[in-house]
Amino acid sequence: MTRTPGLPGLALCVDLGSTFTKALLVDLADGTVVGRAEHATTAAGGDVLAGYDACRAALVDAHPRAADAVRLACSSAGGGLRIAVLGNEPLVTAEAGRRVALSSGGHVVAVASVAGDADPAAVVLAATPDVVLLTGGTDGGNTRALVDGATAVVGAGWTGPVVVAGNVAAHAQVAAVLGEVPYVLAPNVVPRIGVLDPDGARAAVREVFVSHVIGGKRLTSPARRRELEELVRGATPDVVLRGVEVLAEEVGDVVVVDVGGATTDVHAVVEVDPEQSGLAREVVATTRAGRTVEGDLGMRWSAVTTVERLDPDELAPAAHDRLAAAARRRADDPAYLPQDDDDLDDDDDEALARAALTQALRRHAGRARVVLGDDGRVVERSGRDLRTVDLVVGSGGVLRHGRTGVADRVLAPALGADAAARAGGGWQLPEQPRVVVDHDYVLAAVGLLADAHPGAARALARGLVTGATGIR
């Protein structure tokens, strides 16, 4: 390909995972994938940049121009981002904070409320978070809730970063209370009753993650800490959700299910039904972009609980016993990988993946059921209505590296009206979506490119749907 002088070059997009580092080399002119590499994240000594160095060296060796590529990274290494939420009311600002924390790419390790817990700060600190997200009050309302939360956190001895995303009228008082504790003031996540506004808090969490958490985890040597901080643009789940948002702009409503060893994540960008967008039966409003993390559903560390959570009627007893034994083997040896053709033909990994993503999708989508209200028949919904979703994307090693037809065996059975009926009915699952697998793990790269190189990000997202992301 002949390049005209002055046109964009290449971008090296890297995900520093907890186990593996994955890198894509992307042409910024047309959003195509030039090369990819994967390597164990850490080497002897635990330096998280070991995998990055190996991936970059391999890509530079194959494509010398990669040496000058723009470098962008996201990270879930070192346990990812641990967020504790402290709100005022458990069903309003604390729940709003939990949803915002999830959409920010964090693993929510605790949710406490000033009004609902005897010692909320103790609940927060006991979970050993990286960041505390402080919420409370609507804008212009009573400032006491947010100030009381800040006072409790400081009084309990917390010295880590705080993202303040409550009543903006209390910002000055909260800043005075926090004093030397590092903090970022963000727009209120619940600026008024019936509204959930996560974007400002998401940006603040991203800022704290890069400026405090990455360096504070001591993931690399002191000499390279600054390099790591400049490289990382956000937590991997936050960046992936940004990539899903770009994909949704191209194709319509999207759901991405990522089956991992410890968790199964669902990212969804779905146009909100105006009738469902307020603080109704769910109390906290629904937003267009959302994410859930199921910490008891996974392929290795969480394999046992994945099987335990299954409805007993969904598997015959013999099949259930076999899957339980396979889950125990994988939980005892999380590094287990299929070794030969016999292992590849063994469908236990696929059965575990099917169980994990089926349950994760149901939890995210929730159910609709008819109840009797004051005005007669009322449809009560929980979760996010995914029935009209246009595209479902599968991700995770079991799907990316699986045998031919893996999506038909693992993803398809979890979708559609038949799947909802088999589970007892009412589940708001995608009914007639197109199904694709993110074989080249492009969504993280799309999210990394979205702000600085939007044209390349959109083209890369389109390539995922058209099958044009393969290396040319």
Tens of pLDDT, residues 442-465: 999 999 999 999 999 999 999 998
Biggest distance spanned by C-alpha atoms of the chain? 70
Question: Strand runs (DSSP E) across 287-416, as ranges?
Answer: 289-294, 368-373, 376-381, 391-395
pLDDT bucket at 369, cuts 50 / 70 / 90: low
Write the DSSP string, 147-215: HHHHHHHHHTT--S-EEE-S-GGGHHHHHHHHTTS-EEE---SSSSTT----HHHHHHHHHHIIIIIHH
Residue 238: Cβ-neighbour burial (10 angstroms; 0-12, 13-18, 19+):
buried
pLDDT of amino acid 469: 57
Could you tell me which residue, 256 or 290, shows the higher pLDDT?
256
In order of their start, the domains of the chain are: 1-78+440-472 (3.30.420), 80-215 (3.40.50.261), 252-439 (no CATH)
Phi, psi of 297 (to 5 degrees): -125, 115
- Residue 470 has φ and ψ, to the nearest 5°, of -60, 155
Residue 341: burial class (beta carbons within 10 Å; 0-12, 13-18, 19+): exposed
- Whole-number pLDDT of residue 213: 85
In terms of pLDDT, which residue wins out, 212 or 340?
212
What is the C-alpha separation between 136 and 468, in angstroms, rounded? 46
Q: For 32-59, how does the pLDDT look when each residue is reduced to its tens digit (9 = 90+)?
A: 999 999 998 886 567 889 999 999 999 9
Q: Is 79 helix (H, G, I), strand (E, B) or coil?
A: helix
pLDDT above 70 (res 3): no
pLDDT of residue 458: 97
Q: How confident is the model at residue 69 (pLDDT cuts 50, 70, 90)?
A: very high
Q: pLDDT tens digits, residue range 282-291? A: 545 667 888 8
Q: Which residues contact 121 (CB under 8 A, 6 or more apart)?
A: 86, 112, 152, 153, 155, 156, 158
* 312 has pLDDT over 90: no
Which pLDDT tens digit goes with each residue over 313-328? 888 899 999 999 999 9
- Nearest CA-CA partner of 285 in 112, 93, 428: 93
What share of the chain has pLDDT > 70, as a percent? 89
pLDDT, one tens digit per residue, over 129-159 is 999 999 999 999 989 999 999 999 999 999 9
Which pLDDT band holds residue 281 (cuts at 50, 70, 90)?
very low
User: Could you give the strand order of the β-sheet that contains 183-185, starting from the edge strand earlier in sequence?
Assistant: 107-113, 82-87, 131-134, 162-164, 183-185
Contact 386, 365 (CB under 8 A): yes
pLDDT at 5 over 60: no
Res. 340 pLDDT band, cuts 50 70 90: low
Name the band, by pLDDT with cuts 50, 70 and 90, for residue 272.
confident
Average the pLDDT over 301-315 and give the result. 91
Q: Residue 427 pLDDT more than 60?
A: yes
The model's confidence at residue 372, banded by pLDDT at 50, 70 and 90, is: low
